[in-house]
Copies of this chain bind each other. A is one copy, B any other.
Amino acid sequence: MLTIALPKGGMLKDSIRLLQAVGLDFSLFLDSANRQLQITDASGQATGLLVRAQDVPVYVEYGQAQLGMVGYDVLREKKPAVAHLADLGFGGCRLSVAVKTTSPYRSALDLPAHSRVASKYVNCARDYFQSLDLPVEIVPLYGSVELGPITGMSEAIVDLVSTGKTLKENNLMELEVLYHSTARLIAHPLSYRVNPYGLKDLIDRVRTQAEAVTV
């Protein structure tokens, strides 16, 4: 049977809706009383695995799931060895550089050399500032990155922005967009070639459905 890794959090609802539209029902994962992390769809066609967004590519890379749905941001940060198959359209956000609204900086290049930049996306942030040839110190954080500039620990942050509400509430403003991100369909590369259990047929149905919704 096929296994599909689904991300906990903001993209779960849209992931499940998309799979429902192609005949796979994992809506039990949306039930707050549910504690199961592995369920089989009622039609018996596939198993769903509910994992952290960052863990989706791990399960797919190791072949424990043939398919996965995950944000482009996770793929850019972790660079997992998975086949990147389709843009699913939902989960739109952007990775941005932000600073305090009271700061004098109006672009990333205004930041002084050796500034501190707090981020959960240490690889993306490092690559970006290297591409600018601006040496900065990346401070790795796991949550509430907006506290970096508020406490004075860092001059700037590199963080995901969707509505911009968190930035506004914390008196921060975006200077630059590193890239835009949406949910992506990924597959285990070998499975994609070997095509077990009608994998390619399912991929085609998901792709068609995602395109129909996006257009």
Which of A3, A65, A142 is packed against the most chain B CB atoms within 10 Å?
A: A142
Which of B8, B64, B144, B152 sits near A143, CB closer than 8 Å?
A: B8
Inter-chain CA distance A139–B3, complex, in Å, is 19
- Complex Cα–Cα for A115 and B115 (A): 42
Categorize the interface residue count of chain A: 20 to 34
Of A13-21, A46-54, A91-99, A199-207, the one with at least 4 CB within 8 A of chain B: A46-54
Contact B64 A142 (CB under 8 A): no
Query: Which residues of B sit under 8 angstroms from A190, Cβ to Cβ?
Result: none
Establish whether residues B142 and A38, one from each chain, have CB atoms under 8 Å apart when the complex forms: no
Number of copies of this protein chain within its complex = 2
**Nearest Cβ in chain B — how far from A7, in angstroms?**
11
A185 to chain B, nearest CB (A): 20
- Pair A52/B139 contact, Cβ less than 8 Å: no
Whether A150 is near chain B, meaning CB under 8 Å from some CB there, is: yes
B54–A151 contact, CB under 8 A?
no
Query: Are A140 and B58 in contact, CB atoms less than 8 angstroms apart?
Result: yes
Secondary structure type dominating chain A contacts? mixed
A153 within 8 A of B: yes
Q: Which residues of chain B are within 8 angstroms of A3 by Cβ–Cβ distance?
A: 151
Instruction: Determine the chain B residues whose CB is within 8 A of the CB of A65 once the complex forms.
Output: 151
Which residues of chain B are near A151, meaning CB under 8 Å? 3, 38, 49, 59, 64-65
Q: Report the minimal beta-carbon distance from A90 to chain B, rounded to whole angstroms.
A: 22
Q: A38-B150, A153-B64 are in contact. Are A58 and B144 (CB under 8 A)?
A: no
**A141 on the B face (CB < 8 A):** yes
The 30 sampled A-B contact pairs (Cβ below 8 Å) are A3-B151, A8-B143, A37-B144, A37-B147, A37-B150, A38-B150, A38-B151, A49-B147, A49-B151, A50-B144, A51-B141, A51-B144, A51-B147, A52-B141, A52-B142, A52-B143, A52-B144, A54-B142, A55-B141, A55-B143, A58-B139, A58-B140, A58-B141, A58-B153, A59-B151, A62-B116, A62-B139, A62-B153, A64-B152, A65-B151
